[in-house]
Amino acid sequence: MSLKGNRYTDDDVKVVMRQTNRWLQDLHNTSVEQVVDFDLFAVFIMQEMDDELHIRKLVNMLIVTFFDTGKPQTTRQNQLVQAALVVRKKIEKYDLEIKTNPSYPKPYCLRYPTLQDVRARSAHLESRCMVLDDEQMVILLDENRICVGIGLPPFPTSQGNPVHISHETRALECLRDMVAKPVCKLDVGQLPPFFVAQTLEGSPQTPFPLDDKNKGNFRTW
């Protein structure tokens, strides 16, 4: 008999966690690393500070404010200062090397020095996505070799009548049940939505479409 997640006992949860941890450990032992064109520290500073200011100015502002003249008062301020120190070191290294080696590669933070540049780059790359290996764990690293993402292969499916229902199977069952027994009809174009008597024509539209105007400004609710 299949068991739904909301019916798990504490012992069931512990068993699933042990199995998942073992599966992840096995994957990690044979994982592959892939460096992506990104700088987590620089983008973090841009997101927390300003959309239009150059990364050089942002880094200088942070170091002067919280490192040279005072101390960070919060965890977030300390994180920003530590990120700024790393980015400044990278910029200084580039400025020094470029004097004697014109072909020295420019770091990500100087190729895309504002958050607007980062968003434009992200929008450009949306149509050039790569499919990750579906048989191995793929660890994505930025140019500082900081982990920015992990790709996992599909979890092995149980044969026969599994005890634990997979998320995909459960989601499909819920969707079919909602279609078969509609609870209400909503005008999905409204925020918040309101009840309507008839279903509206056309595809559902998000109140925050992915476009250049709001891309990156609205985070997941």
Model pLDDT for residues 48-104, shown as the tens digit of each residue: 988 899 999 999 999 988 876 667 788 888 899 999 999 999 999 999 999 999 999
Q: How many domains does the chain have?
A: 2
Percent of the chain with pLDDT over 90: 39
Q: Does residue 205 sit within a domain? A: no
Together in a domain, 26 and 50: no
Q: For residue 194, is it within any domain? A: no
Give the range of the structural domain holding residue 176, as residue numbers without chain letter. 5-30+154-180
Length of the chain: 221
pLDDT at 53: 93
- Residue 15 shares a structural domain with residue 41: no
- In this structure, the answer to whether residues 10 and 88 fall within a common structural domain is no
Hey, what amino acid is at 150?
I
Residue 216 placed within a domain: no
Based on the domain organization, do 78 and 175 belong to the same domain? no
Indicate whether 210 belongs to any domain: no
76 is a domain residue: yes
Terminal alpha carbon distance of the chain: 35
Shared domain for 23 and 71, answered yes or no, is: no
What per-residue confidence (pLDDT) applies to 161? 62
91 and 44 housed in the same domain? yes
* Spatial CB neighbours of 59, under 8 Å, sequence gap ≥ 6: 45, 84, 87, 88, 91
| Domain-located, residue 144 | yes
Same domain, 114 and 170: no
- CA dist 191 and 31 (Å) reads 43
Statement: residue 192 has pLDDT above 60: no
Distance CA 120, CA 112 (A): 9
Mean pLDDT score, 170-192: 67
Do 147 and 38 belong together in one domain?
yes
List helix spans (H) across 112-159: 115-125
pTM recorded for the entire structure: 0.65
| In-domain check, residue 17 | yes
Judgement on whether residues 25 and 43 belong to the same structural domain of the protein? no
Which runs of consecutive H residues, i.e. helices, occur in the chain? 10-29, 40-49, 55-63, 75-100, 108-111, 115-125, 167-180
Residue 46 sits in the same domain as residue 141: yes
Hey, what amino acid is at 34?
Q
Q: How confident is the model at residue 1 (pLDDT cuts 50, 70, 90)?
A: very low
Query: From CA 147, how far away is CA 15, in angstroms rounded?
Result: 28
**Co-location of 135 and 167 in the same domain:** no
CA distances from residue 104 to 1, 85, 114 in whole angstroms, order as listed? 62, 21, 21
Report the share of the chain in percent with pLDDT over 70.
71
Per residue in 10-43, pLDDT tens? 887 788 788 888 888 999 999 999 999 999 999 9
To the nearest whole number, what is the mean pLDDT of the chain?
80
In a domain, 190, yes or no: no
Rounded distance between C-alpha atoms, residue 145 and residue 221, angstroms: 29
In this structure, the answer to whether residues 16 and 88 fall within a common structural domain is no
